[in-house]
Amino acid sequence: MMYSEKVMEHFMNPHNVGEMEDADGVGEVGNPQCGDIMRIYLKIEDNVIADAKFMTFGCGAAIASSSMATELIKGKTLEQAWKVTNKAVAEALEGLPPVKMHCSVLAEEGIHKAINDYREKQGLKPLEEKPDAE
């Protein structure tokens, strides 16, 4: 299985790794089939993601997907971050092998969970997941 240079770069030197003590929103997702577990932490200021971190237990593609996803959402509004799809994550990584696409889906779901965790803490309604257009 061949990974792009981008995937390897984000796997070997992932960005934004670590726990965030005072996160405003946390999303944890897992895929029992492959054993990947991903936790995304968000720091939110004025509806903008000021910082994002992740802790991922999983394969190289899962770590690379989390790393890229946090890079893509930093500095974006919650609405913009919500629209970051697994395809956008995979494209930013210059492609993922089909068998590893679920890793980018986990990253998308983790972002959604973290945003809704924040919204619920603020007394806002969670944003709705749209049905998959796959």
Choosing from 8, 17, 34, 55, the catalytic residue is: 34
Tell me the backbone φ, ψ of residue 29, rounded to 5 degrees.
-135, 155
Q: Residues 103, 105, 111, 114: which is the catalytic one?
A: 103
* Residue 103 is a catalytic residue: yes
Do the beta carbons of residue 18 and residue 52 sit within 8 Å? no
What does residue 70 show for φ and ψ, rounded to 5 degrees? -65, -35
Long-range residue pairs from 118-123, CB within 8 A, at least 24 positions apart, any chain = 118/24, 118/25, 118/42, 118/44, 118/78, 119/25, 119/78, 121/24, 121/25
- 59 in active site: no
Report the catalytic residues. Answer: 34, 103
